[in-house]
Amino acid sequence: AQSVTQLDSQVPVFEEAPVELRCNYSSSVSVYLFWYVQYPNQGLQLLLKYLSGSTLVKGINGFEAEFNKSQTSFHLRKPSVHISDTAEYFCAVRTNAGKSTFGDGTTLTVKP
């Protein structure tokens, strides 16, 4: 079985500040890692994914994440946020069997 823990339920930041959204996972098997974003009243959209290779993954909208196997983490970062980044962010893991497990989400609020 696998689980995902998003360590912060809410993250308020000011515009143009850097942000890090934390995600830890546990699994008895190899997993693939994803970050999704959900804007109000919309479905989830993929931000980025880690499958293999370089542990630093770049995604859309200037986001990036780093896979750390020893710490079983996959934290999401952006050096300078915009008001439009206000949304809920979900970390997810997926096994070879195809089953996905999502974290509880982190609400990022960017203030002017």
Residues forming contacts to other proteins in the complex (CB under 8 A) are: 32, 34, 36, 42-46, 49, 51, 90, 94-105
Helix (H, G, I), strand (E, B) or coil at 62: helix
Cβ nearer to other proteins, comparing 19 with 33: 33
Cβ nearer to other proteins, comparing 28 with 96: 96
* Least gap, CB of 67 to other proteins (angstroms): 15
* Least gap, CB of 78 to other proteins (angstroms): 19
- Mind giving me the DSSP string for 30-46? -EEEEEEEE-TTS-EEE
Cβ nearer to other proteins, comparing 15 with 61: 61
The answer to whether residues 106 and 47 touch, using CB atoms and an 8 Å cutoff, is no
Q: What are phi and psi of 83, to 5 degrees?
A: -55, -40
